[in-house]
A and B are shown apart, each in its own frame.
Chain A
Amino acid sequence: MEAVALTPRRSVEVIAALTKSDLKVRYGRGRFTLIKWLLDPFAAVGVYLLLVAFVLNRRGYAVGLSIACAVVPFQLVMMTIINALRAVDLRRSVITNMAFDKSLIPVASMCTEAIGFSACFVLIALLMVVYGVVPTVWILMLPAIVAVTLFFATACAFPAALIGLWKPELIPFVMSVARATYFVAPGLIALRYVYGRTHDLLIFNPLTGLFEGFRDALLYGQAPAWWELAYPTAFGVLLIAIVYPLWRNESPHFAKVL
């Protein structure tokens, strides 16, 4: 069969088309689209800010920015997982009608959420101004930290999409587990304020490296520790090494299930 060859350019075309359609479905159209897109991260981060800065009345160095440095990568990972859990079913109509490389579906889930959540950087910039945090040269590490976050989110999207297809009744449970990982990472309280055995254990959560990487580059103005980028990357590589071959075997059969 003269199938369309999957070149890098072709992959980009398909991912872009899937992402664009996903964004249209998610954000709709009209003049409120941009406002909704800009307000989404404020709503997501706002609840944690209110809880920690006002309800718990915690004191600390730029506590709002510290929380934002954790919530931004977490929201990206979380939203990618939520998107991926339903990604196959949402694309049921194209999967059952068209032959294309379904490996691109989880990648498109990540791209949709990355674009959707890029408005987060408006929030971070705003909080840096509010707390008077002056950027240092280490802010240049931000693209690398964001890249690791995107890679980690993509790695999580593959198993999430498979679970969403295999056992859709587990979707709420998986979402709860994913949310819980935020609370077994230094999300509300930075790692430097956590001591002893808890401190050592938190490092095993790959989200810890992402949170602390954002804090180092944006809040503390210092170089991220090597493990902060290496550990989530290694975790993502391991996840993909395990799940991707399974995905390649399963994806041709998706149309049978849908």
Chain B
Amino acid sequence: MRAHIRCEEVGVRFQLDRARNVVTPAYAKLVRSGETVWGLESATLEVCAGEAIALVGRSGSGKTTLLRVLAGVLPADRGTLAITGRVGSLLAIDAGLLGRLTGEENAVLIAVLSGMTRREAAGAMPRIREVSGLGAAFDRPVSAWSQGMRARLGFAVADCMAPDILLLDEVHEALDHEFRAVIEERAHALKQAGGIVVAAGHDHGLLERVCERAVLMQDGRVVDDGPVDRVAGDYVAAL
């Protein structure tokens, strides 16, 4: 596995209508709305195999947008992005789950959308059930689940996809201590195998245990890049 991420001046644009709602590009042309904001202004970043990098910064600084670009959920409206390796992501606590489906039904849906065939997804269910540690709740609709349970399932599916690059966006902060330990263990194993972990969040203690490097985001830009304890420390000291 030789995972690699390279972003050069990557930007993501949000177009607004007159009521300042975000709209799609064609609709913006239709309503002749000219206002544009850059959720990600210019992110330049290189992450090599075996690295774990923390994204730190205030809410709205561009961490989630950058993770979504890396996950392929959002397109880069400018700049260049090159990713080598299979990406697994957990970008929200609800983890793409549909409330009326059971844990297993959701897991199959997410696994297929992530690239598995339905047969492979069905074969992966015992492992997903085991990794998630959800027990009997796995067979119940997720609408009654706690946020932590949803995040557990989302992580278990992402883990079963055997990603080369794992993206985590604050979701680990909704998890209990037992499952945080599972995530930490998986993250270290992935790094040792030549993979990459990119984690955003405000729990600097957890980020420092997983990542050795951090990037400080501010107003959609990368403003600092270095050892996690130094970057996170400077960021907190400047608050």
Assembly CA distance A139 to B49 (angstroms): 62
| Contact A21 B105, CB 8 Å, known A1-B72, A3-B72 | yes
B24 touches A97 (CB 8 A): no
Assembly CA distance A99 to B12 (angstroms): 16
CB distance from B96 to the nearest CB of A (A): 4
Chain B interface extent, by class: 35 or more
| Contact A249 B25, CB 8 Å, known A2-B85, A13-B117 | yes
* Most chain A CB neighbours (cut-off 10 Å) among B26, B81, B86, B92: B26
A25 touches B100 (CB 8 A): yes
Q: Nearest chain-A residue to B14 (Cβ)?
A: A256
B74 touches A255 (CB 8 A): yes
Chain A interface extent, by class: 20 to 34
Chain B at the A interface: SS class:
mixed
| Contact A2 B112, CB 8 Å, known A96-B91, A246-B26 | no
Partner among B24, B94, B108, B113 whose Cβ is within 8 Å of the Cβ of A256: B24
Enumerate chain B residues within 8 angstroms of A166, measured Cβ to Cβ. Answer: 23-24, 27, 30
Q: Nearest chain-B residue to A2 (Cβ)?
A: B86
A25 touches B95 (CB 8 A): no
Q: Is A94 an interface residue (CB 8 A)?
A: yes
B98 touches A93 (CB 8 A): yes
Partner among B27, B81, B96, B100 whose Cβ is within 8 Å of the Cβ of A98: B96
A24 touches B24 (CB 8 A): no
Q: 8 Å CB contacts to B: which residues of A236-258? A: 246, 249-250, 252-257
Assembly CA distance A255 to B77 (angstroms): 14
Q: 8 Å CB contacts to B: which residues of A60-102? A: 93-100
Partner among B14, B24, B73, B100 whose Cβ is within 8 Å of the Cβ of A96: B73
B98 touches A99 (CB 8 A): no
Enumerate chain B residues within 8 angstroms of A94, measured Cβ to Cβ. Answer: 96, 98, 109-110, 113
How does the 8 Å CB contact mask read for A10-51 relative to B, with 1 for contact and 0 for none?
A: 000110111011001100100000000000000000000000
B interface residues (Cβ-Cβ under 8 A, vs A): 12, 14, 22-27, 30, 39, 68, 71-75, 81-87, 89, 91-92, 94-98, 100-101, 105-106, 108-110, 112-115, 117-118, 121, 154
A-B contact pairs, 5 of them (CB 8 A): A1-B72, A2-B83, A21-B98, A246-B26, A256-B14
